[in-house]
Amino acid sequence: MSSSNASRRNEASRRAILTAAFELVQEVGYAKLSIESIAARAGVGKQTIYRWWPSKGAVLFDAFLLMLGEQADTGEPALPDTGDLEADLKTVLRATIEELNDPRYDEPMRALNTEIVHDPALAALYSERLDGPMREMKKRRLRSAQRAGQLAEDLDLDVAVEMVWGPLLNRWLQRSGALTPEYADSLVETALSGLRPRH
Amino acid sequence: MSSSNASRRNEASRRAILTAAFELVQEVGYAKLSIESIAARAGVGKQTIYRWWPSKGAVLFDAFLLMLGEQADTGEPALPDTGDLEADLKTVLRATIEELNDPRYDEPMRALNTEIVHDPALAALYSERLDGPMREMKKRRLRSAQRAGQLAEDLDLDVAVEMVWGPLLNRWLQRSGALTPEYADSLVETALSGLRPRH
Amino acid sequence: MSSSNASRRNEASRRAILTAAFELVQEVGYAKLSIESIAARAGVGKQTIYRWWPSKGAVLFDAFLLMLGEQADTGEPALPDTGDLEADLKTVLRATIEELNDPRYDEPMRALNTEIVHDPALAALYSERLDGPMREMKKRRLRSAQRAGQLAEDLDLDVAVEMVWGPLLNRWLQRSGALTPEYADSLVETALSGLRPRH
Amino acid sequence: MSSSNASRRNEASRRAILTAAFELVQEVGYAKLSIESIAARAGVGKQTIYRWWPSKGAVLFDAFLLMLGEQADTGEPALPDTGDLEADLKTVLRATIEELNDPRYDEPMRALNTEIVHDPALAALYSERLDGPMREMKKRRLRSAQRAGQLAEDLDLDVAVEMVWGPLLNRWLQRSGALTPEYADSLVETALSGLRPRH
DNA sequence: CTGTAATCGAGACGGTACGTCGAGTCTTGGG
DNA sequence: CCCAAGACTCGACGTACCGTCTCGATTACAG
C-alpha cells in the first residue's frame, strides 16, 4: 500500500534543499536569495532543484511546509475553545503577533507572501495547503461560538475570519503600525462589537 | 524665489523614465522589470536613473505618484458623505474593487506592494505619501459619522479603517477569494454591525 | 576453443552505438557530439558506453573501424600496380581527394584527426589499426617500383610515403587550397622528379 | 590620423585575456580550456570575451598573433639565403622541429590546428594572417633559388612548399614518427632530388 | 530448469561550463 | 555639470553534458 515510491527522487537532497532555502532566506533576505546559493548550501547540483521545482517561490513554499511539519495536514488542528470566544481570539492573535515579530520567521514569511502576490499558481497552492486548512480551523472555532449563540446566525464566516485576521496581516506586511498585544485586543473587541454603537 | 531651481535635473528625462517604468511593469510584470529596459524605453542613460533614484522600487513609487497625479496632495480629497455611512462605504469599496480588478493597475500595484513588504524605507515613504493621506481621508469620513452618533464613541478609527479596508486588500493580494460588489457590501455590513448578534 | 565468448557484451548495442556516433558526427559536427546524444540515438543507457569505451574519441575510432568494414585487416589490401608508378599514384590520390571531398566522410574524418592530435593513446591506436596498415600498403607499392628500378635505391620509403600523401592531408585539414585532380597530378609529378631541375 | 579610435575597447583587458588564454592552454590543455577560466585568470568579466570574440578558437588565434608579436606582418621576414638551398632548408626545418618539440608551444599549436580543422572561418583567418605570410616567405626563398637555376623552372612553388613542410607538420600532429634533425635532412634531400633515381 | 550474477535501458545525482542577462560603476564625447 | 551611450566587472540565470550512481528488468551461464 505504500512502500513502492514511483519516483526515484532522493529524499535526503530534498530535505537539504528545503532546509538550506529556509535558512538562507533568513540570512540574506528574499531579494538576494539565489538558486545557486541554495544548491551550494545544500551540497546539491542546481539541476536537482530545477528538476523538481518550477520556481524559487515553489521551493520556498515547500520549505515552509517542511518547517511547519505539515501540522495543518495531520489530524484536525484546533484553536483554543474555552467557551469565551473573545478571550480565545485575543490569545490566538497575541500569539500570531509574537510569531510575526520573531525575526526567524519574519523574512521567510514576507518572502512567501511576496511570491504569492505575483504567482497565481503558487497562490492557489498556498490557498490549498496552508491558508485553507488554517482558515478551516478558524472557521471551526467561530462556528462553535455561533452554535452557542455568541455570533450572529447569518454571519458569513469567511468574511468574519478575514475581518479578524486580515488587518493584522496587512499591518505587518505594510508596516503601517506597531504589532502589539493591545492591538490584538482592540482588533478582537472591535470586530466582535462592530463599529456602530450598541444600543 | 529665484527662477533657478537648485537642481539641473532634466524634467523631460524624469517623466520619460517614470512613464516607461509604469508601462513596463504592466507589460512584463514586476519580476522581469529591469533598470536597463526602463532606460532603453525612456531613451535615457542608465546613469540618469541611478543618479536620481536609490532603487527600482523608488522609481516605481515615483511612477505611481506621477500617475495618480499626486491627487492625495492637492487640497483635501474626501470620501462621499451623504449622511448614510453604510451606503457611502459600500460605494467606495465597490469603486476600489473595480480599480483592483482593472488590469492596467493590477500589476503595478502588486509590484508596489511587494517592494513595500521588503523595503522599510520605501514602506515609510509609502506611508507618508500615499497610504497616510488616504487613511486620513477615510478617518475624516468615519469621524463625521462618529459625530453624528453613527459610530461608537470610543472607537479607534485606525482600527476601524483597517477592519474595513484590510480584508479587501488581503483578498486581492493573496487571491484568496473573488472581489465582487457583494463582497464589498458584506464587508461593510459585517464591520458596522460586528460579529456578535445584536440583542 | 570453447564457444563461450568471455564477454557477455551485447553486440546489438555495440553496433547501435557506433552507428549512432558516426551518424551524429556527420549531422552536428564533432564539437557538439555528446555521449548523451549518442546514447539517446542508439537507444542505450549511458553506462553502456562508459562501460566499454574510455573516451568519446575511442567510440569514434571504433565507429570508423566499423564503417570501413575493417578492410585494412582483412587480407592484404593493395594499391593498383600497372607497372606505371606515376599513373597508379595519380589514380590513388585522385580517389583519395574524391573521398575527402565527400561530405559523408568529411566531418567524421576531421573529428578523428582532431582526437588524434590531442590524445596520444588514440594516436597510437590509430597508428596501429588504421594508418599503419595503409602505410604498409603504400610502401609495398613503392617497394615494387623500387625493385623495378623506378625509384632511387637508397630511398627512405617512409619519407617517400609522407611526401606524397602528407601535403594532401594537410591541404585538406587546413583548407589551405582546393583539392583538385590537377593538384593530385602535380603532387605526384613533383614528388617523383624532385624540386631540382633534371639535367 | 590616428589618435581617435572609434572603439572604446579596453586594451588592457584585451591583452590580459590573450595572455591568460595562451598560458592556460599550455597548463591545462586545449580540451579543458574554458572561457570561464580565461576570464578568471585575466580578471575580466566573461561578457568582455564574448563581446569581442566569436569563439574560443578566435581568442586562441589572437593570442597566437600577440605572442608571435605579429612578426609576419612587420616588414619582410625572410628565410636564410646563403646561396646553398639545401643547407638553408635543413637549417630551417631543424629549427622548426625544435620549436614543435618545445613543450611551451606544443599544446597551444595543437589547439590552434584543431580549431582550424573544424572552423572554416578561422581557417581563412589563419590562412590570411599566419600561414599566408609564412608561405610567402618560404616561396621567396625558393624563388631566389629558382632564379639561380637550383630549382626546376616550371616548378609550382606552392606544391614545393607543401612538399617540404607538409610531411613535417603531419608527423607532428599525428605523432606518426619521431621529429629528429635527421628526419629534417632526409626530407629536404628527398624533396630536392625526387623519388626517382637521378640518371 | 532454475538461481545468480553480469549487463542492460533508464535516468537521478553532484558538478563544471556554457552563453545570456542585468546590476551598478565608470569613461567618453556632446550640449 | 548633465546627459546618452555603452564598456566594464561581477553574479546569477537556466541549460547541456559530464561521469558516477542506483534502480528494476532481461539474459545467459553454471549448478
Task: Give the whole-angstrom CA distance, residue D72 versus residue B77.
Answer: 80
Please provide the average confidence, as pLDDT, over all residues in chain C: 91
CA–C1' nearest nucleotide, residue C50: F19
The pLDDT value recorded for residue A104 is: 87
Q: Where do the structural domains in chain C lie, given as residue ranges?
A: 11-67, 76-193
D73, pLDDT greater than 60: no
Domain A11-62 CATH assignment equals 1.10.10.60: yes
The pLDDT value recorded for residue D4 is: 44
Cα–Cα nearest to D143, from D81, D186, D87? D81
Mean pLDDT of B142-162: 95
- Contacts of residue A92, defined as CB under 8 A and 6 or more positions apart, other chains included, come to A79, A80
- Cell 478582537 appears where? A188
Q: Is A6 on the interface with B (CB under 8 A)?
A: no
Q: Is C143 on the interface with D (CB under 8 A)?
A: no
Task: Give the whole-angstrom CA distance, residue A56 versus residue A25.
Answer: 11
Biggest CA-to-CA distance, chain A: 67
Q: Tell me the CATH number for domain D11-67.
A: 1.10.10.60
C171, pLDDT greater than 90: yes
Mean pLDDT of D121-127: 93
The pLDDT value recorded for residue B9 is: 85
Question: Mapped to the 3 state alphabet, what secondary structure does chain A carry?
Answer: CCCCCCCCCCHHHHHHHHHHHHHHHHHHCCCCCCHHHHHHHHCCCHHHHHHHCCCHHHHHHHHHHHHCCCHHHCCCCCCCCCCCHHHHHHHHHHHHHHHHHCHHHHHHHHHHHHHHHHCHHHHHHHHHHHHHHHHHHHHHHHHHHHHCCCCCCCCCHHHHHHHHHHHHHHHHHHCCCCCCHHHHHHHHHHHHHCCCCCC
Q: Of all helices (H) and strands (E), which one includes residue B141?
A: helix B132-147
- Spatial distance from the CA of B76 to the C1' of E16 (Å): 62
B144 burial via Cβ count (<10 Å: 0-12, 13-18, 19+) = middle
- Spatial distance from the CA of C107 to the C1' of F10 (Å): 39
Determine what percent of chain B is predicted with pLDDT higher than 70.
93
CB within 8 Å: D159 and C120: no
The pLDDT value recorded for residue B112 is: 92
Task: Give the whole-angstrom CA distance, residue D23 versus residue D111.
Answer: 12
- Terminal-residue alpha carbon distance, chain C: 64
The pLDDT value recorded for residue D69 is: 74
pLDDT digits (tens, 9 = 90+) for B79-96: 999 999 999 999 999 999
CB within 8 Å: B117 and A118: no
Q: Which chains touch C (3 or more CB pairs under 8 A)?
A: D
CB within 8 Å: C197 and D152: yes
Domain D71-193 CATH assignment equals 3.10.129.10: no
Which position has the higher pLDDT, C3 or A64? A64
Q: Of all helices (H) and strands (E), which one includes residue B173?
A: helix B157-174
Task: Give the whole-angstrom CA distance, residue A157 versus residue D174.
Answer: 83
B17 burial via Cβ count (<10 Å: 0-12, 13-18, 19+) = buried
pLDDT digits (tens, 9 = 90+) for C79-97: 999 999 999 999 999 999 9
Cell numbers given for C75: 587480407
Biggest CA-to-CA distance, chain B: 67
Amino acid letter, B108: P
C76, pLDDT greater than 80: no
The pLDDT value recorded for residue A3 is: 41
The pLDDT value recorded for residue C91 is: 97
Q: How confident is the model at residue B75 (pLDDT cuts 50, 70, 90)?
A: low
pLDDT digits (tens, 9 = 90+) for C8-46: 899 999 999 999 999 999 999 999 999 999 999 999 999
- Looking at 3.40.50.10440, 1.10.357.10, 1.20.120.420, 3.30.70.270, the CATH number of the domain C76-193 comes to 1.10.357.10
Q: What one-character-per-residue DSSP string does C56-109 give?
A: HHHHHHHHHHHHTTTGGGSS------SS-HHHHHHHHHHHHHHHHH-HHHHHHH
A60, pLDDT greater than 60: yes
Nearest residue in B to A164, CA atom: B163
Residue A38 vs residues A15, A50, A68, B32: alpha-carbon distances, Å:
12, 12, 19, 21
Q: Which chains touch A (3 or more CB pairs under 8 A)?
A: B
